[in-house]
Every structure is written in C-alpha cells, then in structure tokens.
Amino acid sequence: MTHADCNRSVSLSRSAPLFRLGAKLGALGLSALLVAACAAPTDGDEAVASAEVGATSSALAPDSYAWGFAWVNPTSSIHPAYSYNSGGGTNTYSGSNGIYTVSMPQLGLAGGNVQVVAYGESATRCKVSSWGPSGTTLNIGVRCHDTAGVNVASPFVVFFNKGAAGQSGAHVYYSGISAPAGYSWNSTGGTNTVTAGSTGYYTVNLPGINYANAGVHVTAYGSDAKYCKIVSWGTSGSNANVSVRCNDGAGNPANSPFSLTYSSGAPRSGMVGGHAWVDGPTSVPLAYQKVTHEISCFTAANATASSSAVLYPDTFSGPQYGFATMGIVTAYGNDSAFCNVRSWGQEGSGYRVTPKCFTPTGTTTTTKQTSGVLVATYPGPC
C-alpha cells in the first residue's frame, strides 16, 4: 500500500461533501492480472450477453481488487477527495440533465455490483441504468429524476465493487426475471436467489451468510423513475434474507430490476469505515452496526446518531493523510419514503454521514435508513 501525493487543497462549498482533506490523497497500488470479461447488463436488458473486452488486460485491476466510487456534481469535475479507483485510473463522467455516464478506467471487468444514491438537499432520486466494460474502462449509466419522474440534473454518489476472496458478504443483480450468475457473488460460495412476491416485493436469499449485522443497500435498475428500498433483513438458520420493496414514481409498489449489496463491514468489507442501521433519530442498535478502526489492533468506538446523522468514530486517518471517502444511505421500511445523502465529512476522530429523506411528493420526512461510510484505505499497522 502506498500513499500518492496530491498537493491539492480542497475548496469546500455548500454543494460539496463536508470533507476536510489533508495534504495527501491515498492510493493503493496493485499489479494487474490477466482478466477476461463479458458485457454487463445494459439499459432495459433482461439478461446478460457475453462479449470480449477487446483490450490488453495488463491495464486492468485484478478481479480480487476491483472497486471504485465517485461523488459526481454535474456543475464541476470529479474531485479526487471524493473519488477512488483501485486500478489507478482517474474517474470521470459525462452527460447532463439527469442522464450520466461515469467512467472508471482500468476497472472494465465483467460482473460486480453498482450502488447509486442522489446527493444534496433536493428531492431527486438517482439509480443505475447500466454498467459494463468498454475496453479496459468500466462505464456506469446513471439516471436521476425529480418527483414527477422527469430527468433532472442532480449530484449523486456511485459505488462499484466486485466481490472476491478476502471480502465478507454478498451482492446480487436482479434483472426482473432472474439473478444472473455473472453478477451475483457470495463470499461463502452459495448461490444467491431472488423470489418475487406481490407487486413490488422481493426476497433475496443469501445462503451461508449467517450474520445479520451487515451494511445493506439497494438501488433500482433501469431508465425509468422507479426506486427501491430495504424493508427488512435477518437470518434464518445459516442464511440471510433481505426483503426489498420497489415503488413507481408516485410511491406505489411496482416491479423493478435492482442491484443489492450486503457487507459485513464498510460498504467494501475489510476497509476502514463502517455501517449502521438507523432505527430512529438517535438510535443505531449495536447489533446492527460495525466500525472498522483506522489502526488494525484497536477497536473503534461505537457509532452514534444525532438527528439520524451517523458518526463513525476512529475512522479518520489524521491530518497527514486525506484518503478519499464515500458516504451512502438507503431508506428502510415498508413505505414509499426515500433517502439521499445530504452530506458526509470529518468530525473529530471519524466521519459523519447525514441523510435527507422525503415522501414521494418531495416533502421532507423522517424515516429509518441504512448508512455507511467507506475510507479508501485498509486499517494501518500498530
């Protein structure tokens, strides 16, 4: 693991994540491996078709270490303080008016999982509309809508992770018909399944995942204004089960493809960060939270919440380093509310992730949610 000098200062504004950056940005360097890949789902696909990547694979990140994230503000370029790419590439985006493509060079691999959430004060909803390789670059399609279902410009957070050995958890893409094996991963080797119930309701079964203390997030998939949320999750025997509800733009249950991730720690397990289930404005039950300290031999303090904003203590790597960070939230409950990331930033020894939640018509509301923060570094040595 190396630290790459950035030598840039961060210009904070009301539209930027509340992140105080040190003088350096962290980068994790890894050698590339030979990788073959096939196309990921594209907008409107019901199944996954295979194709050659068609580029020298020496530039690709290895399957075992392929992940990235970015905070995208359509009024400016992506700032390195809020962007990470495990292949060493520079994440970029293109598009406007609620239709965007995020490009992550050196991550053009098959499969993986994508999560998208809108950012800021406005009642917009963002979702993934496609992802897949183009040469050695991963391209992720994003759609953002207002409460009337119209495409609208919006900041958002996008997270890509390819599950592999060394991680603990699972992820699954559901096409509306099935959960294609190429886009489904389970750290225990089990085969994830999705069972459709009544309109808009689904049960995701993750065999072998025998713990409920997890960070669970879901995003709807497609170009329309539908959105999805977590209704509940828990374990039955040695399996985890997650209940998902998807809604149309008006908040009524509606069938929809989706992408779901389940992690034992931070949104990418094993990294500095954490997860929490926010059960109330000041409630983050110990049984459903985990914080990974910046130092490997230390135990982090428990996460706490104030006005539903979760503080993850002992996750800030100090002023000498400014590792890129990501905040994420997903609404929880059997209703039509949805949540966005309002902000995240360093506070004391850690990071605080603040949500903002809405009714389908755009009225601010208070609701339960799942929360997570990811710092682009492993816990350091003692």
The residues spanned by each domain of the chain are 1-382
On whether the CB atoms of residues 15 and 72 are closer than 8 A, the answer is no
Q: What's the pLDDT at 84?
A: 97
Q: Which tokens hold the place of 103?
A: 């490009």
For the stretch 68-71, contacts whose Cβ atoms lie closer than 8 Å and that sit 24 or more positions apart, written own/partner, are: 68/104, 68/107, 68/138, 68/159, 68/160, 69/157, 69/158, 69/159, 69/160, 69/324, 69/326, 69/374, 70/102, 70/104, 70/157, 70/158, 71/17, 71/119, 71/155, 71/156, 71/157, 71/326
Q: How far is CA 354 from CA 18, 146, 214, in A?
A: 10, 21, 19
Q: What's the pLDDT at 160?
A: 98
DSSP string, 21-58: --SEEEE-----------PPP-TT-SS-------S-GG
Residue 16 pLDDT grade (very low, low, confident, very high; cuts 50, 70, 90): very low
Q: What's the pLDDT at 29?
A: 31
pLDDT at residue 12 tops 90: no
On whether the CB atoms of residues 242 and 259 are closer than 8 A, the answer is no
Any idea how long the chain is? 382
pLDDT in tens, 255-299: 999 999 999 999 999 999 999 999 999 999 999 999 999 998 999
User: Which whole number is the average pLDDT over 179-185?
Assistant: 97
pLDDT in tens, 307-330: 999 999 999 975 557 799 999 999
Report the C-alpha gap between 83 and 160 in whole angstroms: 11
Q: Which tokens hold the place of 203?
A: 């049960």
Q: Which tokens hold the place of 55?
A: 């580029």
pLDDT in tens, 326-352: 999 999 999 999 999 999 999 999 999
Q: Which tokens hold the place of 93?
A: 């985006």
What mean pLDDT value characterizes the chain? 86
pLDDT in tens, 357-374: 999 999 999 999 999 999
Report the C-alpha gap between 221 and 213 in whole angstroms: 25
Q: What's the pLDDT at 62?
A: 86
Which range has the worst mean pLDDT, 39-43, 135-139, 231-235, 264-268?
39-43
Report the C-alpha gap between 193 and 178 in whole angstroms: 8
Report the C-alpha gap between 353 and 334 in whole angstroms: 23
